[in-house]
Amino acid sequence: MLKKIERAIIKYELIRPGDQILVAVSGGPDSVTLLDLLYRLKDSWALKLWVAHLDHMFRPEARKEAEFVKKLAGDLGVPVIIGRKNVPLYMREKGLSAQEAAREVRYKFLHWAAARVGCAKIAVAHHADDQAETVIMNFLRGTGPAGLAGIPPQRGKIIRPLLEVTGEEIRQYCREMGLSCCLDPSNLQTVYLRNRIRLELVPYLQKINPNLVEGLSRTAAIFREEDRYLNGETEKGLAKLARLEKGKLLLNFRGFQSLPLALQRRMLRKCFVLAGGSGRNLGFHHVEEGLAWLCGDPRRGKSLRWPQGIILGFDGENIVLMKKDPFLPRSKNFLVALELPGETRFPGGKILAQWQKRADLTWRDITKGDAHRAYLDAATVKLPLLVRNRRPGDRFYPLGSKGSKKLKDFFIDLKIPRESRSSVPLVTSAAGEIVWVAGLRLDERFI
């Protein structure tokens, strides 16, 4: 098992010698195995490990599980961070399902904990069975290559060293090594779709194909590479056809028409995000509606309204995407691409950007330095970077704060005058996430 994990680490470049890693440990067999394996690699890879555990306050056993993880980490001599969050209350406040709320809160906590102790990586215990369940679940809901690509081995700071290991291999490892674990009874409740797939559908399908898990993991790997290729082709097309101008995203109409349908869909979705939207809010039907409008005669219709105030229009030569902003007259909005390396000018200022080796920086340089200088981890930020001013509903994870915060509330806390707030430049990723409120605060997910 140890050699298998090490091969996966090398194959996907999950860990570098000397890394500081936060290990998410629930107390179950998967995460206990993950911690045990990373602990065994600690010396040969010169790793510094931390353990993080969150009590979701769902079940009466949760406090005992937190104590179990605390003792487990203590026995290994690994420092531990224990958090507690009322997820049932959060679920009701946000209108989320139990699983959605737990996932959202858990990842917020893990990113906060990693930033607090200076860990560049967060190891979680997803394995091959989880991958198979995810592919099946996405397929049943209806999805494209991105959904069939399943769970990636790495996304930003999150790494998944166990992704090529099956659940049975993990259980066998626990038995052989005599590892004690906690068992979560909610995993046996078929009220959740994922549990029904795990407990009912997967065993049935394994009667037809005993190698189902391995096969679906292979399918996910194939789709992951194909999705990466299509995304790369989309980026190339955008570089040729799109430009930002006075807060608008302009996309050459004739060039867009010449693209295959698969790239047109991706390009519209990408442009929606670059114009200030969130990809999660743009459904398949929105994209199809946009394509149908563009395939007709867009000159006949004035515009098409998409979610989050994004307007899809046509100026006779270009497809135009822009965000209707209630804070500012349209002429005062700005959205520009950040030159990297280079100088980027925007209304009221400029930003100089360059590449820097992380090895040349200390943790204090990154987190405690000049407010007008920001260091971002290139592995966690989706390029290209953009510079814009605020938009309705903006949120980020201020460095040093526990969880996300509305940008509006952040400005109020810092007593930024109302009339000045729309002039503060925000550096965002290509995915639309705020990575730096320039001159004020970094987002802790991207350091």
Residue 340: the pLDDT is 83
- pLDDT number for residue 331: 44
Q: What is the pLDDT of residue 41?
A: 97
Assess whether pLDDT exceeds 50 at residue 176: yes
Given its phi and psi angles, is residue 186 left (phi above 0), alpha (psi -120 to 50 degrees) or beta? alpha
Looking at residue 98, what is its pLDDT?
A: 84
Residue 302 has pLDDT above 70, yes or no: no
Q: Which domains does the chain show, CATH number per domain?
A: 2-222 (3.40.50.620), 246-323 (3.30.465.60), 332-446 (no CATH)
Query: Of the ranges 33-37, 108-112, 192-196, 408-412, which is most confident?
Result: 33-37
Residues 386-401 have a mean pLDDT of 86
Could you read off the pLDDT of 86-99 as tens digits, one per residue? 888 888 888 888 88
Max avg pLDDT among 39-53, 102-116, 308-322, 341-355: 39-53
- N-term to C-term CA, the chain: 32
* Between residues 366 and 138, the one the model is more confident about: 138
| pLDDT tens digits, one per residue of 2-46 | 999 999 999 999 999 999 999 999 999 999 999 999 999 999 999
Query: Can you tell me the distance from the alpha carbon of 138 to that of 144, in angstroms, rounded to the nearest whole number?
Result: 9
Please report, for residues 88, 126, 162, the alpha-carbon distance to residue 69 in angstroms, rounded to integers and kept in the order given: 22, 18, 19
Residues contacting 384, CB < 8 A, separation 6+? 337, 338, 340, 430
| The pLDDT value given to residue 249 | 86
Question: DSSP assignment, residue 297?
Answer: -
Residue 322 in this model has a pLDDT that exceeds 70: yes
Q: Where are the beta strands (DSSP E) in 135-245?
A: 154-155, 158-159, 242-245
Q: How confident is the model at residue 297 (pLDDT cuts 50, 70, 90)?
A: low
Rg (C-alpha) for the chain, rounded Å, is 23
Per-residue pLDDT tens for 342-358?
Answer: 888 887 788 988 888 87
Task: Tally the C-alpha atoms within 13 A of residue 324's C-alpha that lie toward its C-beta.
Answer: 11
This prediction's pTM: 0.75
User: What would the pLDDT profile of 264-286 be if each residue is shown by its tens digit?
Assistant: 999 999 888 888 777 777 888 99
pLDDT > 90? residue 334? no
**Burial class (CB within 10 angstroms; exposed 0-12, middle 13-18, buried 19+) of 150:** buried
Count Cα atoms within 13 angstroms, Cβ side, for 147: 11
Task: For Cα atoms 308, 376, 356, give the angle at the middle one, nearest 5 degrees.
Answer: 145
Maximum distance among all Cα pairs of the chain, rounded to whole angstroms = 71
Which residues, including other chains, have CB under 8 Å from residue 214's CB and lie 6 or more apart?
Answer: 128, 166
Dihedral of CA 316/321/327/332: which sign?
negative
Q: 231-256: string of b/e by CB count within 10 Å (b at 16+)?
A: eebbeebbeebbebeebbbbbbbeeb
Most confident of 28-32, 291-295, 364-368, 402-406: 28-32
Strand pairing report for 318-323 and 335-337? unpaired
pLDDT score recorded for residue 121? 93
Pairwise CA distance, residues 335 & 196, whole Å: 45
d(CA 230, CA 380): 20
What does the pLDDT read at residue 326? 43
Does the pLDDT value for residue 259 go beyond 70?
Answer: yes
Q: What type of residue sits at position 376?
A: L
Contact by Cβ (8 Å): 124, 154 = no
CB-CB contact of 259 with 274 (8 Å): no
pLDDT tens, position by position, 409-418: 999 988 887 8
Q: Whole-number mean pLDDT of the chain?
A: 88
pLDDT at 400: 79
Amino acid at 145: P
Least confident range of 156-160, 222-226, 288-292, 341-345? 341-345
d(CA 282, CA 299): 23
Distance CA 122, CA 155 (A): 10
Let me know: does 213 contact 132? Beta carbons within 8 Å. Answer: yes
- The residue whose two tokens read 């999705």 is 227
